[in-house]
């Protein structure tokens, strides 16, 4: 079965540094998502992306965050000036369509640790 691939699996960074988390969605999918999960907490929606623009974003997704689809295969999440509270597991997801009858496929995540 096709998979969503995320790299790196673990990322350690110093507070204040910028990080880029990378995702390769399933090849024929058109809708892309980022979620995060702080240790012991819920999986939280961050942002969705379609047709090269943000479709929806949560309150968490402030000016510190940005997303990009730099080429036909990658989907990235950039976190500028990381804070300690950005430490979390970040999940990328994709779906073929945006309808409610279309399932999301999730990657295995990137564990971000901000020191």
DSSP tag of 108: -
Q: Give the list of residues 6+ apart from residue 86 with CB closer than 8 angstroms, or none.
A: 64, 79, 112, 114
Residue (48 or 82) nearer to other proteins, CB? 48
Write phi, then psi, for 73 (nearest 5 degrees).
-125, -30
Q: Which is nearer to other proteins, 50 or 74 (CB)?
A: 50
28 near other proteins, judged by CB under 8 A? no
CB-wise, 37 or 66, nearer to other proteins? Answer: 37
Q: Where do contacts with other proteins occur on this chain (CB under 8 A)?
A: 4, 31, 33, 35, 37, 42-45, 48, 50, 55-56, 89, 91, 93, 98-101, 103-109
């Amino acid at each position: 079965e096709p998979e969503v691939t995320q790299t790196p699996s673990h990322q350690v960074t110093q507070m204040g540094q910028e990080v880029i988390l990378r995702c390769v969605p399933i090849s024929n999918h058109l809708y892309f998502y980022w979620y995060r999960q702080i240790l012991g907490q819920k999986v939280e929606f961050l942002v969705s992306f379609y047709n090269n623009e943000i479709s929806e974003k949560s309150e968490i997704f402030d000016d510190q965050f940005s997303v990009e689809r730099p080429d036909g295969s990658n989907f990235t999440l950039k976190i500028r000036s990381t804070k300690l509270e950005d430490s979390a597991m970040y999940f990328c997801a994709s779906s073929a369509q945006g309808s409610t009858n279309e399932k999301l496929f999730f990657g295995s995540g990137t564990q971000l640790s901000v020191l």
